[in-house]
Structure 1
Amino acid sequence: MPGKVKLHYFDGRGRMEAIRWLLAAAGVEFEEIFLESAEDLDKLRNDGHLPFQQVPLVEIDGMELVQTRAILNYIASKHNLYGKDLKERALIDMYVEGMMDLNEIIMMLLIHPPEEQVNQLALLKEKTTNRYFPAFEKVLKSHGQDYLVGNRLSRADVHLVELIYNVEEVDPGLTANFPLLKALQTRISNLPTVKKFLQPGSQRKPRDDMKILDKARKIFSCYGCGLFNVPGEEHNREHNRPTLCSQVTLLSLTCRCTGTLSLCSSTLCGAPDMSFALSSLSATQAWA
């Protein structure tokens, strides 16, 4: 009989947090094996556990799964959180993709230099209140049911409630004009499994901060800028800077260590301003 689910990642939210949320909502107990150093990551690679050389890695049902979407899809399918047919699954996928778009902006906030964070916060507020939350509020209003799809709990509801909490950590007022979303948040939060996950001392991770970012940087040491696909040493000799691209590792638009897009901000490595790339995140998402 398969043992307890095991999650391999660093001790922070990153791309594993959505997996933690979904497992918790499904009532699945899991063990976490934290990466503490670059050597820990190298060992997983060298021992053949990471086919694409990146985490998250989840051991489940005798399998070793990587790639966030694949992991979430498997968990949702196994625990009846993925709709009753292909049409419902398509709707769930569509809604979840929208949630990921908005969550990317939240995850990117920390890597922006202070002088850019005001603009990024304004972008987050605009996208939240004028695009994404109105869309989900409209869905709930259109059918008058308790859940987004099929009038039963799905991964879309779980991810949306996680997103609402993430938004409220940035600005609690952003949900004020969305009563149906707030009602959904309350409803899902009161499910016994989710309520337990939301309690202090659970395996839910606190909001990422610079301390966690620094820890991640030490683990996911990077030797190149994935956006330009040039060797790190050559790249940084040109800009007369140390290799610091791994500073973006935590927040998902990262170096090859996590298998996602790496963006070089001028404050990190001296490369040209990449604000145009940051503004087009939704078109260039690369969830590991």
Structure 2
Amino acid sequence: MPAYKLHYFNLRGRAELARLILNQAGVEFEDIRFERSEWPALKATMPFGQVPVLDVDGQILAQSNTISRYLARKHGLAGKDEWEQAQADMYADNINDLMTGMRPAFLEKDAEKQKELYQKFLVDNVAPHVAIVEKQLEKNGSGHLVGTELTWADLAYYGYFAFLVEKYGEDFLKDAPQLKALIALVEALPNIKKWVESRPKTEI
């Protein structure tokens, strides 16, 4: 088994999906976290000057979805065939887009304006996406986004939407019983439950 070291801020953020995949797969890894104050000194040591970065036996891999896709394929969570893998990629890329769309609100320093930006994002971006995915879950009919088994797409949606529920409550899921059930399904997985209960407590 390779020795994994995952480097990221002391946040969930863009590294949490990789952590969820590794935990669900029962794979040990070194979760290397650092504070924002430490980042200027570390930035030059990272490829492309970004994190997360995954060290695999001394070989370095950057870009959050690239890391998660690699780990999912390596540990049986990518989908059963090329079409399922492509579908899982599609869903994970959608979550990446949603995370990018939240960035202006995240960076806003004024608390009142930040709240307004988050609420606007929930209405303009999250709500339409939830409606689309709800229909796709219903059409798939297995309780999963892709095929009939757990993939990293399910973990990606759990990671993102569980965060939104934690931060804003469940109102945005009131017309989305399928997505709500998917979140609950992933949350109840023993390895995920153990990770969520033991991981460092961070705001995001």
Residue in 1 that maps onto 2:16: 17
Distance in 1 (CA, whole Å) between partners of 2:22 and 2:104 is 24
TM-score by length of 1: 0.63
- Which 10-residue stretch deviates more, 10-19 or 78-87? 10-19
Residue 60 to residue 205, structure 1, CA distance change in 2 (3 Å): farther
What residue identity is the alignment partner of 1:11?
N
Q: Which residue of 1 aligns with 2:203?
A: 207
Q: Which structure 1 residue ranges, 5 or more long, are not aligned? A: 209-288
RMSD: 2.2
Structure 2: stretches of 5+ with no match in the other structure: none
Q: CA deviation at 1:75?
A: 0.3
2:166 matched to which residue of 1?
A: 169
For residues 67 and 143 of structure 1, what CA distance do their matches in structure 2 show? 29
In the alignment, which of 91, 104, 108 is matched to residue 100 of structure 2? Answer: 104
Secondary structure of the structure 2 residue equivalent to 1:174: helix
Is structure 2 residue 8 aligned with structure 1 residue 2? no
Q: Deviations over 1:142-176 (max 9, x none)?
A: 12112111111101000001111121123212222
The total of aligned residue pairs comes to 199
SS in 2 for 1:139: helix
Q: Assess if the C-alpha contact under 8 Å between 1:102 and 1:132 holds in 2.
A: no
CA distance in 1, matches of 2:162, 2:39: 31
Determine the C-alpha separation between the residues in 2 that align with 1:171 and 1:11.
21
How far 1:132 sits from its partner (Å)?
A: 0.9
**8 A contact 1:22–1:75 mirrored in 2:** yes
Residues 61 and 205 (structure 1 numbering): CA distance in 2 closer, same or farther, change over 3 Å?
farther
1:32 partner amino acid: D
Q: Which structure has the bigger radius of gyration?
A: 1
Name the structure where helix makes up a greater proportion of residues.
2
Q: Show the counterpart of 1:53.
A: 49
Q: Deviations over 1:180-218 (max 9, x none)?
A: 11111111111111111121xx2255223xxxxxxxxxx
